[in-house]
Structure 1
Amino acid sequence: MTDLMSNDAQQQYRDAVARSLEDPESFWGEAADLITWITRPERALDDADAPFYRWFPGGRLNVCFNALDRHVVHGRADQTALVHDSPVTGTTRSFTYAELLDLVARFAGVLRDLGVVKGDRVVIYMPMVPEAVVAMLACARIGAVHSVVFGGFAPAELAARIEDAEPKVVVSASCGIEPSRVVAYKPMLDEAIERSAHKPDHCVILQREQLHAELGERDLDWKQVMNPDAVAPAACVPVGSTDPLYVLYTSGTTGRPKGIVRDSGGYAVALRWSMTELYGVQPGETWFCGSDVGWVVGHSYIVYAPLLTGATTILYEGKPVGTPDAGAYWRLIREHGVVSAFSAPTAVRAIKKQDPDATLLKDGDLSSLRALFLAGERLDPDTWQWATDHLGVPVVDNWWQTETGWPIAINPVREGEALFGIKPGSPTLPTAGYDVRVLDERGEQVPAGTEGAICLRLPMPPGTLPTLWRDDQRYVDSYLSAFDGYYLSGDGGYVDDEGYVFVMGRTDDVLNVAGHRLSTGSLEEALAGHPAVAECAVIGVHDELKGQVPRALVVLKAGTDPDEAGLQTLRQELVARVRSEVGAVAALRQVDVVDALPKTRSGKILRKTMRQIADGQEAAVPSTIEDVSVLDALTPVLRGGGG
């Protein structure tokens, strides 16, 4: 463990978390003062219709007003609100709060003039451009519900989301730009609309200079409709605290997509509270989140949390490596004076693979940086150690989900110091409002240090999903039916005797080797500690004798290129590491060295899909896969039993 901050600061935080569970009315009622209400709610929590809990009932507000207008009114008009840093186009643009407000109010006027009213849906299918943020906030301004679909999603997946959300308008762009190619969006959008039973009234298309799209009858050009002479800005429309702000669909392989609903008031309060109290970012400071607005991290920590706080947020159109190199994040921090950054462990692993000695990190002054936060995939101790050694600031794991919208467990940062000692492999302690319990198959709480299903005792705090879009029963069936009174996270792990949470992987990633339950996380932790390994994954494959046996797939660091004899030695060393650190019960025999691991665009490794392929089953390939060619290349290895 690292050195601790003062006992007073720790105790104050522990007391606050305890109060959030014991007296949520008082705790969240005070937190509600952080935002501006049109009608202040009389109470914090309505539990009359449990398990459909509602936060700040009776309250009325506008989330866009809280993100933009109030900062302009209170002296931040000339402060930079948004920086668009785009190495794929070689451009950087900055927008003050006043400038961003002007654009948002005008586009809200465009949507209003197209017939969009409070409660209508707008689907946003765009790359990482400022206009995506403008469209999101414009929807919030007039009370419309936005649903952002990751730019470049295949037509079938986009069609399913259009059909479910039934948008009046779709906002898109002519293209997205990858490091090696331009991706035409308009043909995919046209095909998606053709496939969908629901047809939007209009599509507003941002024409990018890299590729112009041919517009059809329902299509409108962004630049033309945004002409100040063509549209009057729209005012903020009051909405209820419990009214939906957005619907964000989780990936699915079959059937109707699952729409996570986010309410307006609870989300605004939780996000504003978290930005300062958890991430340590103050109004006026610059924050970078290396995600995408198509994912929950992008919604929460590129757009809403920093702007609700009055901070400066960076919208990055690039990659952690390849645009142009593994020093891209360090350049962003240096050039923009970033005080805290947020990314996924897979991004750090990619940087580490390309630049294992962190030579590119030493190219400039990173003294502005106080902390690096990582979430989205389990942060293995080896990656944590590498980042800690080279950055010299707290590297803070945090665990949460699309469904929760903000961290379940995190180590809060105060003035550049982690509040609690860091235990590698743990996102530290549950935060305000989250009553984390580890349960066995019978729903009984297990002793400290014992693995089980990580669950959240109801009610969950503000900002978490109140239900699924138009499907209360599916919400109950998917999350609340396993254990009465609990939300099932789908993650497995344990809580140690000091209350630290250890998330070891999805519950369907647990291996059952001859009756012994082993988490993929523990085996991967042992493998990742080998100096030649950049990243790894462990899957459980069927075995007639033991039920399952583990199989490891490892990617080596750049510059590591052993011959066949060297590979054999490496495999033996990795098997020995697992035997030494996990035990002989793990029974790891097979280690495949591969070029890359298949992942979703948010960085999650597709362990379940690889396991299905290895077992000869029909593989469930999620729509969110980053590069299907990686899986295609790996399939013969998985099916052939070696590589």
Structure 2
Amino acid sequence: MCPNLTAGVRVVERSRLYLDGAMTAMTEEEYRDLMARSVADPDGFWGEAAGQIDWFHPPRQVLDGSDPPFYRWYPDGTLNVCYNALDRHVIKGRADQTALVYDSPVTGTQRSYTYAELLDQVARFAGVLRDLGVTKGDRVVIYLPMIPEAVIAMLACARIGAVHSVVFGGFAPAELAARIEDAQPVVVVSASCGIEPTRVVPYKPMLDEALRRSGHQPDHVVIIQREQEPAELGERDLDWAELMHPDAVAPAGCVPVAATDPLYVLYTSGTTGKPKGIVRDSGGYAVALRWSMTNLYDVQPGEAWFCGSDVGWVVGHSYIVYAPLLTGATTILYEGKPVGTPDAGAFWRLLSEHGAVAMFTAPTAIRAIKKLDPAGDLVGQHDLSAFRTLFLAGERLDPDTWQWASDALGVPVIDNWWQTETGWPIVMNPVGLLQLPIKPGSASLPVPGYDVRVLDERGEEVGADTEGAICIRLPMPPGTLPTLWQDDERYVASYLSTFEGYYLTGDGGYVDADGYVFVMGRTDDVLNVAGHRLSTGSLEEALAGHPAVAECAVIGVTDPLKGQVPRALVVLKAGAATDGEGATEALRDELVARVRSEVGAVAALRRVDIVEALPKTRSGKILRKTMRELADGRTPQVPSTIEDVAVLEALRDVLKDGSGTS
């Protein structure tokens, strides 16, 4: 149990009550005051928040700013994140509460783990890693599908102070090899296969090929054999089930680590071809996620929560694994899709069966559901009486999708904006403290700890409703990246060198007169049409409001006269398919007219392609840059995170030849 931190760390009394979860409602004025204090007095604010974490040695210093731009949180504190996620809940009476629900429609199985059962599994696999020679600071690469062993392996690493690096199961060998080479793991944990709705994906051959390509070789490879396609094991391969037999391993205890020690490295695609290893520290991350789960997402200890992401993404790390378990909630791990396993009501079935009070997923998942069930009929087939909030992030939430979800579910639909680098929300409607008025198209106000500014090309702050580069004034709050893995220089060059004293998010947008942040898209997605700067988000917002449109993307293509012109790709809702070329042309004309009416003639949209699907990453981000390069006649480097290469292949000719349909 963490005592009060230091006598010098104070927050206004009313704010302390919110940080400790003792109050349930704020006024908007009080919340804005809380935001201001978090920026003006980060030591006081985050010192109090650290009281929600159990420390072996409580920190006496909250923020170390002695070496800017390298800021460190709780530099003299020690803790163990696994202890905070599991042991302390068992000790304090939650041993028999469900910690993890595994729901897998692709295999037809469900399994639940109490906090005591999950702790037993984690402690045993931590013992396995220890016996395989993994020590504090060593890396372990985890290459697994959405199965409980992925969560167990992550927490086992945290338990012994090892650094985990999760790579999507099914990632291509070249990308996996690059991550293995950079992280240099002592052990790789994988499975024999992954299971998709229509096929089984063998993982072991891809892992073997990655290791053949890699300049680094792990000492051991641990394989989870799945009955759908067991793998043939080689000399250094070890069977998970054999290693985990109670007679084969003694459980491992928690190893104290410094708050500044890395908990994990999560790779994102880099512009130079080399992936960027986002470092997440232990103490700041634990404090931020525990604070966010209750105060931002309004999920209390003992409640069930579903995050429809993947542990290969930051959302999965933060809100499938760490935040709910640090809170003492029940987290749902889903091996399936929002549609097709078996239908567009899959998420509603999950919420109903497991009594989830809230769900967090990507707007693209809701758009996929909306496409197949435009009237929302499947919602009514499930008892959602416990469900109270839908949270969306990962891709811009257009107002039409927000409206559809709001109408279909009858609960608040809350946008939140953040990045792999930050680890938790930058901008969000903090429903655990109060629900601010919702403005469709905005994720609301910056959350405490983030000093968000919009800057022009000279680095000067712009006025209300003026678009520019969205930046965060340093220092950023706990839980955000302190650097890149073994590459401080690249960290500064990538994020901190454009505007001195600011973190560059790479997103563009504006802040309105009420302080609401509108993120309009990546800064490289801003169109320059005859000298007029237009965000793709504003054009997409106009298109998405058409009743026939399920989802859409706008890209800027090179034009010899205007520099760039916009081009739209539109996916229609089920039942909205057009019959004949005349009807298709009429729909295109309607969409062009709609953009002209809502954005203005300066948008110069003339080209609308009706397509079957849009190419996306596995997290739901639409590959606008890749499509733009194809339309310009270039050969793009296709991101390794692409969900379905076939979708992009189907668009190649459309983007190149201008036929207008696919």
TM-score by length of 1: 0.98
CA contact 1:164–1:256 (8 Å) conserved in 2:
no
User: What are the superposed Cα offsets for residues 572-627 of structure 1, whole Å, 9 maximum, x if unpaired?
Assistant: 00000000000000000000000000000000000000000000112121110000
For 1:203 and 1:362, how far apart are their aligned partners in 2?
Answer: 46
1:7 offset after TM fit, Å?
9.1
For 1:255 and 1:359, how far apart are their aligned partners in 2?
Answer: 45
Structure 1 partner of 2:304: 286
1:15 offset after TM fit, Å?
2.0
1:544 offset after TM fit, Å?
0.6
User: What are the superposed Cα offsets for residues 122-172 of structure 1, whole Å, 9 maximum, x if unpaired?
Assistant: 000000000000000000000000000011000000000000000000000
Structure 2 partner of 1:637: 654
CA contact 2:530–2:564 (8 Å) conserved in 1:
yes
Determine which of 255, 263, 278 is the counterpart of 1:237. 255
Amino acid in the other structure paired with 1:487: Y
Root-mean-square deviation over aligned CA pairs: 1.1
Determine which of 401, 406, 415 is the counterpart of 1:397. 415
551-560 or 245-254, which deviates more: 245-254
For 1:324 and 1:117, how far apart are their aligned partners in 2?
Answer: 43
Structure 2 partner of 1:499: 515
CA contact 1:538–1:553 (8 Å) conserved in 2:
yes
Q: How does 1:542-561 map to 2 (within 5 A)?
A: 542-561=558-577
Determine which of 594, 608, 632 is the counterpart of 1:577. 594
1:18 offset after TM fit, Å?
1.2
Q: Secondary structure at the match of 1:430?
A: coil
Q: Secondary structure at the match of 1:176?
A: strand
1:429 offset after TM fit, Å?
0.2
Amino acid in the other structure paired with 2:554: V
Q: Secondary structure at the match of 2:140?
A: strand
User: What are the superposed Cα offsets for residues 184-209 of structure 1, whole Å, 9 maximum, x if unpaired?
Assistant: 00000000001000000000000001
Alignment of 1:597 onto 2:614: yes
CA contact 1:252–1:623 (8 Å) conserved in 2:
no
Structure 2 partner of 1:3: none
Amino acid in the other structure paired with 2:486: R
1:350 offset after TM fit, Å?
0.0
Structure 2 partner of 1:348: 366
User: What are the superposed Cα offsets for residues 385-432 of structure 1, whole Å, 9 maximum, x if unpaired?
Assistant: 0000111110000000000000000001149xx610000000000001
Amino acid in the other structure paired with 1:259: G
Alignment of 1:618 onto 2:640: no
Structure 2 partner of 1:487: 503
Q: How does 1:78-477 map to 2 (within 5 A)?
A: 78-252=96-270, 254-414=272-432, 419-477=435-493
For 1:146 and 1:9, how far apart are their aligned partners in 2?
Answer: 41
For 1:155 and 1:254, how far apart are their aligned partners in 2?
Answer: 18
Q: Secondary structure at the match of 2:391?
A: strand
For 1:8 and 1:356, how far apart are their aligned partners in 2?
Answer: 36
CA contact 1:590–1:642 (8 Å) conserved in 2:
no
Structure 2 partner of 1:568: 585
For 1:256 and 1:494, how far apart are their aligned partners in 2?
Answer: 31
For 2:643 and 2:331, how far apart are their aligned partners in 1?
Answer: 25
Alignment of 1:527 onto 2:543: yes
For 1:403 and 1:625, how far apart are their aligned partners in 2?
Answer: 20
Determine which of 517, 529, 533 is the counterpart of 1:513. 529
Alignment of 1:536 onto 2:552: yes
CA contact 1:253–1:622 (8 Å) conserved in 2:
no
For 2:261 and 2:270, how far apart are their aligned partners in 1?
Answer: 25
Q: Secondary structure at the match of 1:488?
A: strand
Structure 2 partner of 1:50: 68
User: What are the superposed Cα offsets for residues 228-257 of structure 1, whole Å, 9 maximum, x if unpaired?
Assistant: 000000000000000000000002465321
For 1:44 and 1:438, how far apart are their aligned partners in 2?
Answer: 28
Structure 1 partner of 2:15: none
Amino acid in the other structure paired with 2:540: E
CA contact 1:327–1:360 (8 Å) conserved in 2:
yes
1:96 offset after TM fit, Å?
0.1
Ranges in structure 1 where 5+ consecutive residues have no aligned partner: 1-5
1:11 offset after TM fit, Å?
2.6
User: What are the superposed Cα offsets for residues 492-515 of structure 1, whole Å, 9 maximum, x if unpaired?
Assistant: 000000000000000000000000
For 1:27 and 1:267, how far apart are their aligned partners in 2?
Answer: 15
For 1:256 and 1:150, how far apart are their aligned partners in 2?
Answer: 17
For 1:197 and 1:396, how far apart are their aligned partners in 2?
Answer: 45
Amino acid in the other structure paired with 1:534: A
Amino acid in the other structure paired with 2:245: N
For 2:223 and 2:637, how far apart are their aligned partners in 1?
Answer: 33
The structure-2 alpha-carbon separation of the partners of 1:489 and 1:54, relative to structure 1 and needing over 3 Å to count, comes to: same
For 1:429 and 1:8, how far apart are their aligned partners in 2?
Answer: 15
Amino acid in the other structure paired with 1:397: D
Amino acid in the other structure paired with 2:83: F
1:340 offset after TM fit, Å?
0.7
For 2:280 and 2:382, how far apart are their aligned partners in 1?
Answer: 40
For 1:458 and 1:547, how far apart are their aligned partners in 2?
Answer: 35
For 1:364 and 1:310, how far apart are their aligned partners in 2?
Answer: 26
Structure 2 partner of 1:28: 46
Amino acid in the other structure paired with 1:578: V
CA contact 2:311–2:320 (8 Å) conserved in 1:
yes
CA contact 2:299–2:432 (8 Å) conserved in 1:
no
212-221 or 611-620, which deviates more: 611-620
CA contact 2:571–2:610 (8 Å) conserved in 1:
yes
For 2:309 and 2:107, how far apart are their aligned partners in 1?
Answer: 18
CA contact 2:529–2:602 (8 Å) conserved in 1:
yes
User: What are the superposed Cα offsets for residues 283-317 of structure 1, whole Å, 9 maximum, x if unpaired?
Assistant: 00000000000000000000000000000000000
Q: Secondary structure at the match of 1:504?
A: strand
Ranges in structure 2 where 5+ consecutive residues have no aligned partner: 1-23
CA contact 1:107–1:135 (8 Å) conserved in 2:
yes
For 1:628 and 1:400, how far apart are their aligned partners in 2?
Answer: 26
Alignment of 1:71 onto 2:65: no
CA contact 2:529–2:564 (8 Å) conserved in 1:
yes
Amino acid in the other structure paired with 2:354: H
Amino acid in the other structure paired with 2:62: A
1:364 offset after TM fit, Å?
2.0
Amino acid in the other structure paired with 1:25: D
User: What are the superposed Cα offsets for residues 53-83 of structure 1, whole Å, 9 maximum, x if unpaired?
Assistant: 0000110000000000000000000000000
CA contact 1:597–1:631 (8 Å) conserved in 2:
yes
Q: Secondary structure at the match of 2:356?
A: coil
TM-score by length of 2: 0.95
Q: Secondary structure at the match of 1:350?
A: helix
CA contact 1:9–1:419 (8 Å) conserved in 2:
no
